[in-house]
Amino acid sequence: MSHFSQIKTQIRHLPALKAALTDLGIVWKDGPEAVQGYRGLTQTAELAIEQDNGYGIGFRWNGSEYELVADLQFWRQDWTVDRFLSRVTQRYAYHTVLNETTQKGFQVTEQQQNKDGSIRLVLQRWST
């Protein structure tokens, strides 16, 4: 028998999560959406990802962060759950940094994707 798993994340800003998923080419739906699991059980999520097998993945606010909710027996993504969360978290961090630094008057002057998958950003702010 299968059941829903809730996986904690450090994701707290929904717009950055949406941008991260979009960057990765993952189609998502704004919630609240029912995420389908075993035997028709559902969980409500603020953001849902439909899979070809009819079962879903969602991100649900737990009061302090968005947690991943899914029936892992029916996981059908190109990456493992760990790799999926790693990729989403990296893109989420990228968008969070850009958002925070832009609000403080910084601009990206250089961006480099390293061989190890990390991203190097050079930011600049002009003082008057």
Whether the per-residue pLDDT at 121 is higher than 90: the answer is: no
Angle at 53 between CA 26 and CA 39, to 5 degrees: 120
pLDDT at 23: 95
Residues 1-19 pLDDT 10s: 558 899 999 999 999 999 9
Among 83, 43, 50, smallest CA distance to 66 is for 43
DSSP 3-50: -EEEEEEEE--HHHHHHHHHHTT---EEEEEEEE-GGG-EEEEEEEEE
pLDDT of res. 40? 83
Share of the chain above pLDDT 90, in %: 69
Q: Please state, in angstroms and rounded to a whole number, the distance separating the CA atoms of residues 72 and 43.
A: 13
